[in-house]
């Protein structure tokens, strides 16, 4: 087929869009499973200690109660990697909100009422839930997430800083944040002998199935996860979470199918959050703006249960050509729930710090912040020395500056005032690594000339199903309506999560390989399908391993215009414009939506989102959507996403880099930099709330 006929690069709407808006698709909790009963968790009211006793007498006496589980009677799990998932296996309490008991009843309301009647007594111990940079228990883990090295040193950074004629040394903080997907975490667990089916709201059906099998000591394949449609995840459904284990455990205990759906409040301690960070960035530069030293130190927290270290300084390893650099991750393990992935884990908070510091450096040097980034453009990856497969940060900056109308900007801070409103503009760069994991996929012929492709991908609202159908249709050389792509089921075979922006690249590679193999076989038979049909299965493990050693990253540039109310301190993002370079764009419509979604989440990160920890009780105080603020329609004004056409042949057969996460990266820094330009006050702590703006004394 000619290039003109290809659908990759087009803008088809979501295949399941109509079904979604008419309410006919099924989400995890909605599968009709006969005889299902309900489980409701009892959550710890202390942050640290031991359960002394569970008095279930009153709960058991209530009508419809089938079982009350605690660590004394719950089915046993195999020891495994994450204690977070070892529900009801021990009386120890590691965080407030941890599941210490659970009630199974024949109605949801009955389970809920009975759970409130369970009396739990604790031997409470003193807890520590505060990320205090002076805490002596802080340490530097050898490895951080994504398999990265914790601390990387290049050159003599201290010496270079001391000699530098210009520099920045500042501390930036970001709060804990909650992913808050629209569909709460929900599961139906159904045991049939030694096999388990889980209808699960899940970003990673195949990995969840294998993880649950391991926990229950079952052979691979004994657990099957169904996640046909998922109402958002943003990372919080990327790893197996406790509610799924609870459903499986309860169903095992009562020998009935069990349903669980988190309430919004239950989600806050139970389904993960983004770690808070305290980051110190030190930059040294020549007068012409060239960096001589970059030192990025990121302090984060994890729980006592799991060492989870976010790769917060990773962006600083790839961005700029500083000859001397040190990137350090430090961790403090507290009596808190375990943090986990949230959109652009690492890069989102890390690039807020680096890109704020770059703006501070531009002011220290009297240099345009776009030009400062351009003069520090590296030839090769600064850390590894590897060539970039493609790198178009400069193109993004230039195109963004042109589209935004950056030229002729007066850099003077705090001088543009219209009545009560101060105005300012700011810029920041974005980056996100190209992750690709091996995947499997199957393609087969259908009677009547159609094709079915199966891959254990998850469409969490991104349009993955549609993008994969485009990829399959092009490889098979047929229109999209002759191809049915089935996703969301672990039985389709090994596949990575909808996470790390790797989905389309990883699954797409397997889909394209399977379809290519089927096409080749069909061609060998002159297009005649045998009566039994034909099938081709692909596994990209070897292809992924055979990739050349190169540095692969997506880049982008974000430009923000804000107004700041000089009386109230309220910041409004009047415009946010992003230009991204992410390889081939498979679907113009869904890609744009991904970028806009990421940027909206960036506005939210900049201005609204913050989980407040209660030091006394050890919980998040604002654990609902009334008090945990998220940007909504009225907060989002001018939003524009653009991209550079990037033809990178060193990625995968489809040429994609991943787009799910880069949109949030850099957005908060661009907004904070614009707030400085508007007010003359440097706000280094997120979110930039009216009280913080007023406290900074912004009025010129």
| CB of 439 vs ligand MOS, minimal distance in Å | 16
Cα atoms in the Cβ-side hemisphere of radius 13 Å centred on 518: 31
499 binds ligand MOS (CB under 6 A): yes
SS3 breakdown of the chain: % helix, strand, coil, rounded to 5? 30, 25, 45
| CB of 482 vs ligand MOS, minimal distance in Å | 31
Residues 526-555 touching ligand MOS, rule: CB under 6 A, are none
Cα atoms in the Cβ-side hemisphere of radius 13 Å centred on 428: 36
Structural tokens at position 399? 């195109």
Q: Which DSSP category does 689 fall into? A: -
| CB of 271 vs ligand MOS, minimal distance in Å | 12
d(CA 53, CA 47) in angstroms, rounded, equals: 16
Stretch that binds ligand MOS, among 103-111, 191-199, 338-346, 409-417 (CB under 6 A): 338-346
Residue closer to ligand MOS by CB (options 238, 339) is: 238
Write the interaction track for ligand MOS spanning residues 611-650; mark x where CB under 6 A is met and - where it is not. Answer: ----------------------------------------
Residue closer to ligand MOS by CB (options 272, 679) is: 272
- Cα distances (Å, whole numbers) of residue 489 to 209, 229, 230: 9, 10, 12
- Catalytic, 661? Answer yes
| CB of 343 vs ligand MOS, minimal distance in Å | 5
Run of H or E including 600: helix 588-607
Cβ(615)–Cβ(130) under 8 Å? yes
Q: Which DSSP category does 659 fall into? A: -
**Can you give the C-alpha Rg of the chain in angstroms?**
26
Cβ(669)–Cβ(356) under 8 Å? yes
Q: Which DSSP category does 314 fall into? A: G
Interacting residue with ligand MOS among 341, 352, 406, 643 (CB under 6 A):
341
Q: Which DSSP category does 530 fall into? A: P
345 binds ligand MOS (CB under 6 A): yes
| CB of 597 vs ligand MOS, minimal distance in Å | 12
**Furthest C-alpha separation in the chain:** 80
d(CA 503, CA 487) in angstroms, rounded, equals: 12
Stretch that binds ligand MOS, among 306-314, 316-324, 335-343, 484-492 (CB under 6 A): 335-343
| CB of 319 vs ligand MOS, minimal distance in Å | 20
Q: Is 124 exposed, middle or buried (0-12, 13-18, 19+ CB in 10 A)?
A: middle
Write the interaction track for ligand MOS spanning residues 223-262; mark x where CB under 6 A is met and - where it is not. Answer: ------------x--x------------------------
666 binds ligand MOS (CB under 6 A): no
Residue closer to ligand MOS by CB (options 70, 183) is: 183
677 binds ligand MOS (CB under 6 A): no
Residue closer to ligand MOS by CB (options 225, 342) is: 342
Residue closer to ligand MOS by CB (options 203, 392) is: 203
Residue closer to ligand MOS by CB (options 500, 583) is: 500
Cα atoms in the Cβ-side hemisphere of radius 13 Å centred on 555: 27
| CB of 435 vs ligand MOS, minimal distance in Å | 8
Residue nearest to ligand MOS (CB): 235
451 binds ligand MOS (CB under 6 A): no
- What is the distance in angstroms between the CA of the first residue and the CA of the last residue of the chain? 63
Write the interaction track for ligand MOS spanning residues 165-204; mark x where CB under 6 A is met and - where it is not. Answer: --------------------------------------x-
Interacting residue with ligand MOS among 252, 282, 333, 343 (CB under 6 A):
343
500 binds ligand MOS (CB under 6 A): yes
* Residue 627, number of CB atoms within 10 A of its CB: 11
Cβ(181)–Cβ(238) under 8 Å? no
Structural tokens at position 654? 């489809």
d(CA 205, CA 227) in angstroms, rounded, equals: 6
Residue closer to ligand MOS by CB (options 341, 555) is: 341
| CB of 456 vs ligand MOS, minimal distance in Å | 16
| CB of 497 vs ligand MOS, minimal distance in Å | 7
Cβ(514)–Cβ(536) under 8 Å? yes
The CA angle 197-201-203, to the nearest 5 degrees, is: 105
296 binds ligand MOS (CB under 6 A): no
| CB of 687 vs ligand MOS, minimal distance in Å | 19
Residue closer to ligand MOS by CB (options 184, 500) is: 500
d(CA 177, CA 692) in angstroms, rounded, equals: 18
97 binds ligand MOS (CB under 6 A): no
Kindly determine how many residues on this chain lie close enough to bind ligand MOS according to the rule CB under 6 A.
Answer: 10
d(CA 684, CA 168) in angstroms, rounded, equals: 13
Taking alpha carbons only, the member of 477, 485, 476 closest to residue 453 is: 485
Query: Using H for helix, E for strand and C for coil, what is the string for 22-67?
Result: CCCCCCHHHCCCCCCEEEEEEECCCCCEEEEEEECHHHHCCCCEEE
Run of H or E including 252: helix 242-254
3-state secondary structure of 172: strand
Residue closer to ligand MOS by CB (options 146, 520) is: 146
d(CA 519, CA 554) in angstroms, rounded, equals: 32
Residue closer to ligand MOS by CB (options 256, 343) is: 343
Q: For residue 238, how far is the Cα from the chain centroid?
A: 8
Residue closer to ligand MOS by CB (options 110, 500) is: 500
| CB of 346 vs ligand MOS, minimal distance in Å | 9
Interacting residue with ligand MOS among 298, 342, 668, 693 (CB under 6 A):
342
Write the interaction track for ligand MOS spanning residues 645-664; mark x where CB under 6 A is met and - where it is not. Answer: ----------------x---
Question: Which residue numbers are catalytic?
Answer: 661
| Interacting residue ranges for ligand MOS, rule: CB under 6 A | 203, 235, 238, 341-343, 345, 499-500, 661
């Amino acid at each position: 087929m000619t290039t003109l006929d290809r659908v990759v690069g087009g803008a088809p709407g979501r295949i399941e869009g109509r079904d979604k808006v008419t309410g006919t698709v099924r989400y995890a909790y909605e599968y009709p499973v006969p005889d299902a009963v309900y489980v409701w968790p009892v959550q710890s009211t202390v942050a640290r200690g031991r359960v002394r006793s569970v008095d279930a007498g009153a709960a058991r006496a209530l009508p419809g109660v089938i079982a009350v589980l605690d660590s004394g009677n719950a089915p046993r799990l195999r020891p495994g990697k994450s204690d977070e998932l070892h529900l009801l296996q021990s009386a120890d309490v590691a965080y407030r909100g941890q599941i210490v008991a659970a009630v199974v009843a024949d109605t949801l309301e009955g389970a809920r009422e009975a759970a409130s009647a369970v009396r739990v007594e604790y031997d409470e111990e003193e807890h520590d839930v505060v990320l205090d940079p002076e805490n002596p228990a802080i340490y530097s883990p050898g490895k951080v997430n994504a398999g990265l090295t914790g601390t990387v040193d290049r050159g003599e950074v201290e010496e270079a800083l001391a000699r530098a004629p210009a520099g920045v040394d500042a501390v930036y903080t970001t709060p804990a944040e909650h992913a808050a997907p629209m569909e709460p975490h929900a599961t139906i667990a159904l045991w049939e002998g030694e096999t388990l089916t889980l209808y699960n709201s899940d970003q990673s059906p195949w990995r969840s199935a294998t993880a649950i099998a391991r926990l229950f000591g079952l052979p691979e394949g004994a657990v099957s996860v169904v996640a046909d449609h998922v109402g958002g995840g943003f990372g919080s459904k990327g790893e197996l979470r406790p509610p799924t284990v609870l459903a499986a455990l309860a169903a095992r205990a009562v020998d009935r199918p069990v349903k669980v759906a988190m309430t919004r409040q239950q989600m806050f301690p139970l389904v993960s959050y983004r770690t808070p960070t305290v980051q110190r960035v030190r930059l040294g530069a020549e007068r012409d703006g060239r960096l001589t030293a970059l030192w990025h130190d990121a302090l984060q927290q994890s729980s006592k249960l799991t060492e989870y270290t976010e790769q917060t300084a990773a962006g600083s390893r790839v961005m700029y050509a500083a000859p001397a650099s040190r990137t350090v991750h430090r961790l403090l393990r507290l009596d808190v729930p375990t943090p986990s992935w949230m959109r652009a884990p690492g890069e989102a908070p890390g690039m807020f710090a680096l890109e704020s510091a770059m703006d501070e450096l531009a002011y220290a040097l009297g240099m345009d912040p776009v030009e400062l980034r351009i003069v520090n453009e590296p030839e090769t990856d600064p850390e590894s020395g590897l060539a970039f497969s493609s790198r178009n940060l400069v193109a993004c900056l230039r195109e963004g500056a042109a589209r935004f109308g950056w030229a002729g900007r007066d850099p003077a801070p705090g001088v543009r005032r219209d009545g009560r409103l101060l105005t300012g503009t700011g810029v920041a760069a974005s980056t996100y690594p190209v992750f690709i994991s091996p995947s499997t996929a199957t393609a087969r012929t259908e009677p009547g000339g159609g094709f079915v492709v199966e891959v254990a991908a998850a469409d969490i609202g991104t349009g993955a199903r549609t993008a994969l159908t485009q990829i399959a249709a092009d490889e098979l050389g047929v229109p999209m309506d002759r191809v049915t792509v089935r996703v969301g089921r672990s039985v389709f075979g090994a596949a990575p999560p909808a996470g790390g922006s790797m989905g389309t690249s990883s699954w797409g590679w397997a889909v394209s390989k399977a379809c290519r193999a089927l096409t080749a076989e069909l061609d060998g038979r002159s297009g005649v399908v045998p009566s039994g049909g034909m099938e081709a299965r692909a596994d990209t493990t070897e292809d992924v391993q055979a990739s050349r050693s190169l540095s692969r990253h997506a880049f982008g540039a974000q430009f923000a215009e804000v107004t700041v109310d000089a009386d109230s301190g309220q910041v409004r993002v009047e415009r946010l414009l992003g230009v991204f370079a992410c390889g081939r764009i498979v679907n113009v419509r869904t890609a744009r939506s991904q970028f806009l979604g990421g940027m909206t989440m960036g506005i939210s990160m900049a201005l609204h989102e913050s989980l407040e920890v209660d030091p006394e009780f050890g919980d998040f105080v604002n654990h609902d959507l009334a008090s945990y603020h998220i940007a909504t329609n009225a907060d989002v004004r001018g939003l524009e996403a653009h991209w550079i056409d990037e033809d990178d042949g060193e990625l995968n057969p489809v040429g994609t880099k991943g787009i799910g996460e880069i949109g949030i990266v850099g957005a908060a820094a661009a907004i904070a930099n614009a707030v400085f330009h508007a007010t003359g006050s440097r706000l280094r702590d997120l979110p930039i709330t009216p009280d913080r703006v007023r406290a900074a004394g912004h009025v010129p």
